[in-house]
Amino acid sequence: MSLLVVGSIALDSVATPFGETADEPGGSAVFFSAAGSILHPVQVVGVIGSDYPLAVLKGLERRGVDLSGVEQAQGESFRWRAKYSYDLSSRETLETRLGVFAQFRPKLPEKFRNARYAFLGNIDPELQLGVLDQVAHPALVACDTMNYWIQSKRDMLLELLRHIDLLMINDSEARELSGDWNIYRAAQWVLAHGPRMVVIKQGEHGALLVDGTSIFKAPAYPLQEVFDPTGAGDAFAGGFMAYLASTDDLSPPNLRRAMIYGAAMGSFAVEAFGVKGFDNVTPADVRARVRVFKELVHFDMDGEKSA
């Protein structure tokens, strides 16, 4: 059950209260596949410049990530520079240099076109639609976006929504897209515009899965040490999609479990800079965190026995 991700492959320079990085490999496709490949093989489509360090990508390959859709173009890799506030609750983007990403036109290798699960990371919605045209019969297409596209390519984004199954966005993006500050009404707005499911990421407060009949709340993993929030959302997406691909089960109970696997992956992402938080993480480590989530939220109704 092949799993495809299209997204950025970046070099991040991030400052947190605990240190800083320079040109640390990151980007949505990298965080997604670093997390997802712990559970299931991942096919990546993206672009790197002539200056990209290949060691991290080789590491991903060793974990079952197929990089045959990663194009190396002449020029500079995509770079992003940001600084977090003292409590990590907000960040400021200091610089974005698109480099080779500016000319990126995703082209799927023939063997990726039968992907059953596809995640379209946060890129131009026009390119996301272009990717969709190249995937034959996906069981589930999920998609991220960001404020920049909501503002600059709203019509294209609305067109995209008509063609995807699940939109996965931050709470602030959901509010901006829908024009509604109530997160549950914002979710209903999304459902009325195409997708049958929406995942709203709430950072340190977890994430919501909303469909036409139910709401599921996954909390964030209780961490006493958070080092760098960068990539948590993409790691969440990687865990969510890889769990679905590995089980090939889109039933409501399995979607709920996928949310928890996503939340577990988000917690590994924030424990170190870049994708280092995933070094040596095994499926058993992930399952151990899933059990902690169960303990974190479980309660019995009066008069019921404990599960």
Between residues 53 and 283, which has the closer beta carbon with respect to a copy of itself?
283
CB of 173 vs a copy of itself, minimal distance in Å? 15
CB of 138 vs a copy of itself, minimal distance in Å? 24
Helices (H), 99-222: 125-134, 147-152, 154-161, 171-178, 183-191
Between residues 123 and 207, which has the closer beta carbon with respect to a copy of itself?
207
Structure tokens belonging to residue 156 = 């294209």
Q: Are 119 and 6 in contact (CB under 8 A)?
A: yes
CB of 94 vs a copy of itself, minimal distance in Å? 22
Residues within the interface to a copy of itself (CB under 8 A): 86-87, 181-182, 184-185, 188, 202, 205, 214-217, 219, 222-226, 247, 253, 256-257, 259-260, 290-291, 293-302, 304, 306-307
CB of 198 vs a copy of itself, minimal distance in Å? 13
Q: DSSP class of residue 219?
A: P
Label residue 19 left, alpha or beta by phi (over 0 means left) and psi (-120 to 50 means alpha). left
Q: Which of 22, 17, 52, 46 is nearest to 33 (CA)?
A: 46
Structure tokens belonging to residue 47 = 């672009």
Cα(293)–Cα(258) distance, integer angstroms? 12
Between residues 280 and 306, which has the closer beta carbon with respect to a copy of itself?
306
Cα(92)–Cα(181) distance, integer angstroms? 22
Instruction: Output the CA torsion sign for 268, 219, 217, 184.
Output: negative
Residues contacting residue 159 through CB under 8 Å, at least 6 positions apart: 125, 129
Between residues 62 and 305, which has the closer beta carbon with respect to a copy of itself?
305
Between residues 111 and 291, which has the closer beta carbon with respect to a copy of itself?
291
Between residues 165 and 204, which has the closer beta carbon with respect to a copy of itself?
204
